Amino acid sequence: MNDATKVFLIDDDADLLRATGQTLELAGFEAALFTSATDALSRLNAGFDGVIVSDIRMPGLDGLELFSRVRDLDAELPVILMTGHGDIPMAVKAIQDGVYDFIAKPFATDRLLQCIRRAAEKRRLTMENRRLRLAAAEGGAGPQLLGQTPVMVRLRQTLKQIADTDVDVLVTGETGSGKEVVASLLHQWGRRARGHFVALNCGALPEQIIESELFGHEPGAFTGAQKKRVGRIEHADGGTLFLDEIESMPMATQVRMLRVLEMREVAPLGTNDIRPVDLRVVAAAKVDLGDPGQRASFREDLYYRLNVVSLSIPPLRERREDIPLLFQYFAEKAARRFSRDVPVMSDAVTRYLADHHWPGNVRELSHFAERITLGLEPVPVSAGVLTERGGVLSLPERVDAHEAEIIRDTLTSFNGDVQQTIAALKIPRKTFYDKLQRHGIVRSDFAGR
């Protein structure tokens, strides 16, 4: 073992204690030997990341009393009791009270080592979950900007540095990476927090509506405009305007938006009145607008006007060390929401988190954590080979798992759009819905936010 598991071994039989200690050392454990339970307790704290192995019958503080004290200190710290045959009923009762396991003397060496290894793995998972919960609580940057990787630490620092300034910001990142969270934090952490945070997805509105949504209109400005409407730009006066998927903004709207950015004024449709606005604009794009090939029909002058400060959010696959932390946060959030227990980070889940490509980024991870919490995805499979219990899946099971993953990835790529997903998968609509039902996939989980 690179990081040897600590074992507190307690027995008043000095010879047996020494021999068992040597066995543990040879097996790769770091054994601390005690002939007194009181001495062992004086060395324990709730941060102990190992296992306790103790005899039951000892002078002074016996094994059962030791367990009671340990339970008060840390109820999740595994205690293994060694006992003579006459004490087995007592040991069984102790297991009902929370003792991890008991071993009857004389015991086979392999039996002891296997028991300690299982207890050590349980303790490792417990301590890892505690570390993740603590990191989530101390993140201080909102749920989807959690992360201890250097790139996320730098991103949070940059947000705090520019939050109180009035510079416009361009945010780039893949779907589901957290662009709106970045915009929201810039608003919350700055002096504009008292104003409105106004968000508009430029790709979600048809060209005929987007100008009215942004600039507002007066009665009679166009057919159907029966009453005055305050546009998103004017509503964001004193606050922040967030324009998502700005690369989808129609060309005519881009021209008008450029004037808003340059002059900080807006003219609603149907009037010549010019109204000043004091706002910060945060724009987000899924493509690199600095690359002419990706910029396509997006105006170059508007790009340079927006690009005062440019922030890039890395995809989840490029900061894999943060994935367990995020999963833990979303699982605990889902457990509170659905009144369920927080799921244990099993080996199967850990393997899936590490191996999956995460094309939907943080949004996809959030949905996965919700399904695990609800027990809707008991066997997460990335490579399509192992079950949660470590057994090998049959060929049909592997095919099913792979098919489900392809459907989820495709839905994620198209933000849950059925028409585009069916076209990409090249299957009939009825077949598509049959497969959703068979794999327990909920299309609305993938809809863009």
For residue 443, CA distances in Å to 212, 333, 338, 404, 416 come to: 31, 21, 19, 12, 6
Closest among 168, 159, 163 to 308, alpha carbons compared = 168
Top-confidence residue, 131 or 50: 50
Whole-model pTM: value is 0.57
Q: Which residues constitute the domain of residue 229? A: 143-314
- For the segment 113-158, what is each residue's pLDDT rounded down to a tens digit? 999 998 998 888 778 777 766 655 554 444 457 787 889 889 988 9
- Sign for the CA dihedral angle at 65, 67, 71, 73 comes to positive
Q: Rounded CA gap, 269 and 221, in Å?
A: 6
- For the segment 338-358, what is each residue's pLDDT rounded down to a tens digit? 998 888 777 778 878 888 889
> In the numeric block, which tokens belong to residue 35?
């002939």
**8 Å CB contact between 51 and 119:** yes
Instruction: List, in sequence order, every residue forming a beta bridge with 269; answer none if it has no partner.
Output: 217
Domain boundary among 107, 137, 167: 137
Task: With respect to residue 70, please indicate whether it lies within any of the assigned structural domains.
Answer: yes
Q: Rounded CA gap, 113 and 23, in Å?
A: 9
First to last CA, the chain: 46
Is the pLDDT score of 369 beyond 80?
Answer: yes
Average pLDDT over residues 272-278: 88
Domain boundary among 260, 291, 314: 314
Residues 404 and 304 in one domain: no
Residues 433 and 344 in one domain: yes
Q: Where are the beta strands (DSSP E) in 78-220?
A: 79-83, 101-104, 169-172, 197-201
Query: For residue 271, how many other CB atoms are within 10 A of its CB?
Result: 14
Residues 266 and 398 in one domain: no
Q: What angle do CA 62, 64, 67 make, to 5 degrees?
A: 110
Residues 296 and 345 in one domain: no
- Sign for the CA dihedral angle at 373, 375, 379, 381 comes to negative
For position 31, what pLDDT does the model report?
A: 93
Residues 163 and 296 in one domain: yes
- Chain mean position to CA 385: 24
